[in-house]
Amino acid sequence: MSDLVAPARGATVRRATAPGGSAAADRPRTGPDAPSALEGSEVGAPAPGPTLIAASQLGTAVVESPRGRGRRRNLALALVVPVGLLALWHLATAVTGTFASYELPSPGAVLDAAVELATWDKGPNLATHVQISVQRVLIGFLAGSAAGLTVGALVGLSRLADSLLSGTIGAVRAVPSLGWVPLLVLWLGINEDSKVVLVAIGAFFPVYTTVASALRHVDPQLVEAGRAYGLRGASLLLRVQLPAATPSVISGLRLGMAQAWLFLVAAELIASSMGLGFILTDSANNGRVDRILLSLVTLAVLGKLTDALIGVAEKRLLRRW
Amino acid sequence: MTLTTPTAVRTHPAHPVSVQGVGRTFASRDRSAQPRAVLADVDLEIAAGDIVALIGASGCGKSTLLRQVSGLDAPTTGRILIDGRPVDGVDARCAVAFQEPRLLPWRTLTQNVALGLPRGTDRATGDRRVAELLDLVGLADCAGYRPRQVSGGMAQRAALARALARNPGVLVLDEPFGALDALTRLRMQDLLLDVHAAEPTTVLLVTHDVDEALYLADRVVLLGRPAGAPPGAPAGVRSVVTVPGRRPRDRGDAGLALLRAQLLDGLGVPTHHEAHDPDQHHSI
């Protein structure tokens, strides 16, 4: 597995450490067609994109691994905007007082609210709220994306299922998320089930859509080659069609995760006594803008975190691409 | 190129192929249009271990016939026998290589070649066989690369190794070198002959290239419409030419020049293109 990226990565390192040196001389020997093979690997191999650029921009000889350095630099760049926003926010509230605390509390006040809620003993504290929200999202996402994968695979692989189902599913998808809430509350009651089901509905559609279309568009030549080598049905799906569709499936999962958080807040805004969405409605009723901001920041951080988790899985799975 | 002696047990010897009265008609997508007959009454006997090249104009059904031998498509009429048993569905005795390598991009060359191994090959035997085949096609140094990291010629060699991994009784090649540059193509032709010498199997090969056919094949089969047939008529076997001499042949052999002219003529391409006289009126 790691040998896959090795030539490309090797080339990167060499260029970074010895900028004037002949790249061709250092090329690993790969047989008679080697030069064109390596050109292929440099252009087409899944080289670590940002690192490649960063490392070649550094140009000068580097003692430290260019990969680690490039990564740190990217992280630093990514922090510029959030830190700048935080400073502006602080400036506009605590320093100049352009906004009153009931309009926009200062970052310090939000931090105080976080500490207050984290140590709250008259009801669920911050950790409990976060825990219940994360639990709803994870269960809902797992159920919804599993259903999306299954139905998407069915519709993507079978013309009959496509004709039977895709129209109906498209119509159901067109129902706005909040439209489901009254029905779910009536059928399932105001409890965990109705919220998790709503989150699952949210996660289902992006996964379903991407999986179905990815499987429908797997290169027919590859499928035929698979058939020519005796693969049929499940073995064809597992060895050719699913791996070919993997990149799209993962981007579908990412979209599904984003939509799961969206639907979670919708569910918690309407009928709940715990969770980050509940903090939003409750604080709106009490005028606690600091807690509203706290909840929004927490949602942003959690959403980014779950997305990053899928990103890690993506990197592992797509290393072979 | 060094040839290695195969160590793995070959399960399929070379098989004879018998094409009997094969016809293929494609239903038209447009309902009002007539179904289109591509092949009719194709009869062909191929001896075990022979290399037979199919040539013919574009769209004359060469690839269709190949797909039927490999079981990817079924004839509308007639039947095809491999070693006396009819082909029904994708046949384990056959292995196909296409014009494109069609390697799975997420697998290494080794893993791609392993896809060709017959079902139920035990791991140790399979690994050994794959390594041996990669060595045979000169890719032992690149076994761990992915298809997009190697050149077109290397990918096509891997596809050939994958086909050989099946231990085929019949090796079916659909314009295998058509997409390669001229030099790589000549090298691949020699490689195919080396492979055939190392692992003698029946080879059925479609090509556009008359010289390639004459260089590689024991017999060249010209597919086409009968003379004087209307443009939409189905194609059949126009002629079968036995190529004189033993392989490896001299690419510049003068004795083949006459055959070459005959075959090109059969394809509707005269060897001497008359220069147009601007004063002379003619119709095309």
**Pair (B122, B32) in one structural domain:** no
**Pair (B196, B253) in one structural domain:** yes
Range of B25-39, B101-115, B261-275 with top mean pLDDT: B101-115
Q: Residues 242..281 of A with a Cβ closer than 8 Å to B: which? A: 243-244, 246
| B60 assigned to some structural domain | yes
**Element holding B94 (H helix, E strand):** strand B94-97
**Pair (B156, B16) in one structural domain:** no
**Interval A281-289 mean pLDDT:** 91
CB pairs under 8 A between A and B: 84
Place of tokens 């026998």: B81
**Interval A20-42 mean pLDDT:** 40
| B191 assigned to some structural domain | yes
**Element holding A68 (H helix, E strand):** helix A66-90
Cβ atoms of B129 and B121 closer than 8 Å:
yes
Do A239 and B153 lie within an 8 Å CB cutoff?
A: no
Candidates B100, B102, B151; nearest CB to A36? B151
Given a cut of 70, whether residue A62 has pLDDT beyond it is no
What are the residues whose beta carbons fall under 8 Å from the beta carbon of A5, sequence distance 6 or more? A45, A46, A47, A48, A319
Given a cut of 90, whether residue A190 has pLDDT beyond it is no
Position A49 confidence tier, pLDDT thresholds 50, 70, 90? very low
Do A227 and B92 lie within an 8 Å CB cutoff?
A: no
Contact status of B166 with chain A (Cβ, < 8 Å) = yes
In percent, the amount of chain B with pLDDT more than 90 equals 48
Q: What pLDDT shows up at residue B277?
A: 59
**Pair (B40, B80) in one structural domain:** yes
In angstroms, the separation between the Cα of residue A238 and the nearest Cα of chain B is 13
Contact status of A3 with chain B (Cβ, < 8 Å) = yes
**Pair (B75, B140) in one structural domain:** no
| B129 assigned to some structural domain | yes
**Alpha-carbon distance B32 to A263, whole Å?**
51
**Chain A positions in Cβ-Cβ contact with residue B116 (cut-off 8 Å):** 229
What are the residues whose beta carbons fall under 8 Å from the beta carbon of B37, sequence distance 6 or more? B23, B24, B25, B232, B233, B234
Given a cut of 70, whether residue A180 has pLDDT beyond it is yes
Q: What pLDDT shows up at residue B108?
A: 93
- In this structure, the strands spanning B36-46 and B17-26 are antiparallel
| B7 assigned to some structural domain | no
Contact status of B104 with chain A (Cβ, < 8 Å) = yes
Contact status of B73 with chain A (Cβ, < 8 Å) = no
Do A29 and B144 lie within an 8 Å CB cutoff?
A: no
Given a cut of 90, whether residue A308 has pLDDT beyond it is yes
Given a cut of 50, whether residue A242 has pLDDT beyond it is yes
| B1 assigned to some structural domain | no
In angstroms, the separation between the Cα of residue A33 and the nearest Cα of chain B is 7
Q: What pLDDT shows up at residue A24?
A: 39
> Looking at the 3D structure of chain B, how many domains does it have?
2
Q: What pLDDT shows up at residue B8?
A: 46
In angstroms, the separation between the Cα of residue A110 and the nearest Cα of chain B is 48
In angstroms, the separation between the Cα of residue A287 and the nearest Cα of chain B is 55
Given a cut of 90, whether residue A253 has pLDDT beyond it is yes
| B211 assigned to some structural domain | yes
**Chain A positions in Cβ-Cβ contact with residue B114 (cut-off 8 Å):** none
**Pair (B161, B188) in one structural domain:** no
| B138 assigned to some structural domain | yes
**Element holding B52 (H helix, E strand):** strand B51-56
Do B100 and A243 lie within an 8 Å CB cutoff?
A: no
**Pair (B129, B261) in one structural domain:** no
Do B145 and A37 lie within an 8 Å CB cutoff?
A: yes
In percent, the amount of chain A with pLDDT more than 90 equals 55
**Interval A257-276 mean pLDDT:** 90
Q: What pLDDT shows up at residue B282?
A: 53
Residue of A nearest to B145 (CA): A4
Do B150 and A229 lie within an 8 Å CB cutoff?
A: no
Domain boundary among B167, B193, B221: B167
**Interval B254-261 mean pLDDT:** 84
The average confidence (pLDDT) of chain B is 86
Do A225 and B98 lie within an 8 Å CB cutoff?
A: yes
**Pair (B184, B221) in one structural domain:** yes
Least confident of A43-52, A194-203, B54-63: A43-52
In angstroms, the separation between the Cα of residue A8 and the nearest Cα of chain B is 9
CATH number 3.40.30.10 given to A118-318? no
In chain A, domain spans: 1-98, 118-318
Contact status of A213 with chain B (Cβ, < 8 Å) = no
Place of tokens 């990564």: A71
Do B150 and A37 lie within an 8 Å CB cutoff?
A: yes
**Pair (B108, B231) in one structural domain:** no
Q: What pLDDT shows up at residue B120?
A: 85
**Interval A15-24 mean pLDDT:** 39
The enclosing domain of B244 has a CATH number of 3.40.50.300
Given a cut of 70, whether residue B80 has pLDDT beyond it is yes
**Pair (B84, B176) in one structural domain:** yes
**Interval A7-24 mean pLDDT:** 40
Do B115 and A30 lie within an 8 Å CB cutoff?
A: no
Given a cut of 70, whether residue B165 has pLDDT beyond it is yes
How far CA B76 is from CA of A208, A228, B22, B32, B165, in Å, comes to 39, 20, 7, 21, 30
Position A53 confidence tier, pLDDT thresholds 50, 70, 90? very low
Q: What pLDDT shows up at residue B283?
A: 52
**Chain B positions in Cβ-Cβ contact with residue A36 (cut-off 8 Å):** 151
| B281 assigned to some structural domain | no
Q: Which of B145, B171, B187 to mutate to test the interface with A (most CBs of A within 10 A)?
A: B145
Amino acid at A85: L
What is the per-residue pLDDT across A107-150, written as a single tens digit (0 to 9) for each? 999 999 999 999 988 888 999 999 999 999 999 999 999 999 99
- Taking the CB of residue B164, how many other CB atoms lie within 10 A of it? 24
What are the residues whose beta carbons fall under 8 Å from the beta carbon of B43, sequence distance 6 or more? B19, B20, B21, B22, B237
Position B1 confidence tier, pLDDT thresholds 50, 70, 90? very low
Q: What pLDDT shows up at residue A11?
A: 40
**Chain B positions in Cβ-Cβ contact with residue A247 (cut-off 8 Å):** none
Q: What pLDDT shows up at residue A301?
A: 93
**Pair (B107, B162) in one structural domain:** yes
What is the per-residue pLDDT across B35-64, written as a single tens digit (0 to 9) for each? 888 898 999 999 999 999 999 988 888 999
Position B103 confidence tier, pLDDT thresholds 50, 70, 90? very high
- B181 vs A58, higher pLDDT: B181
**Alpha-carbon distance B212 to A169, whole Å?**
54
**Pair (B191, B127) in one structural domain:** no
Q: What pLDDT shows up at residue A13?
A: 39
Given a cut of 60, whether residue A45 has pLDDT beyond it is no
Place of tokens 């140790």: B124
The average confidence (pLDDT) of chain A is 81
Q: What pLDDT shows up at residue B94?
A: 92
The range of the structural domain enclosing residue B106 comes to 100-167
Contact status of B11 with chain A (Cβ, < 8 Å) = no
